[in-house]
Structure 1
């Protein structure tokens, strides 16, 4: 929970996201997606504002193709809030900072 966006892979998704002690915003994305790239600055802002309360993790579906099917990711970007190892909130598609804050706030 450093205030920066953490890039995760198939290898460390379970440890960083699912087993995290606090809430995690996990974002399934792809570099080729303009919508995903547009979301990146929002994720950085949210990570900074909620440092020490929320981990923001990003997974590139092309670099790590094994994890998305495990969580039924069928579109990008998909935003999941994990808490206690479970998905507690979901948003699929474009998101403003306000949308992201509304998604994570109940779980902080």
Structure 2
């Protein structure tokens, strides 16, 4: 698990998120979205503080358009917690650090 946010793409999403050992917080986002950009520092904090327990990954929906439809992404940001290859928690829209921690904690 990394202490920084891992950028993933269509090419490596399955390997780095779905097939990962342990929980992964996958964030579907776009660079043009102010809400997504505002979430970036929160993700960095969570990645650093929970480095030994969760991987934080983000996917840019514009640069990697094949993956979002597979996971029913209809709004950004969408945060999915994957564990054992399954989505075990979801949050859509703006999120504070407390929101993100509350989302991942049951799956650590």
TM-score per shorter chain, which class?
A: over 0.9
1:31-73 per-residue CA deviation (whole Å, 9 max, x = no partner) reads 0000000000000000000011100000000000000000000
2:103 alignment partner in structure 1: 103
Matching residue of 1:8: 8
Unaligned runs of 5+ in 2: none
**Displaced runs of 4+ in structure 1, greater than 2 A?**
none
What TM-score comes out, normalization by structure 1 length?
0.99
| Residue 79 of structure 1, CA deviation | 0.1
Which residue of structure 2 lines up, in the alignment, with residue 83 of structure 1? 83
Q: Look up the match of 2:33.
A: 33
Distance 1:89 1:103 in 2: 7
RMSD: 0.3
| SS of alignment partner, residue 81 of structure 1 | strand
User: Structure 1: where are the runs of 5+ without partners?
Assistant: none
Aligned length: 108
CA distance in 2, matches of 1:22, 1:12: 17
The CA distance in 2 between the partners of 1:7 and 1:52, in whole Å, is 18
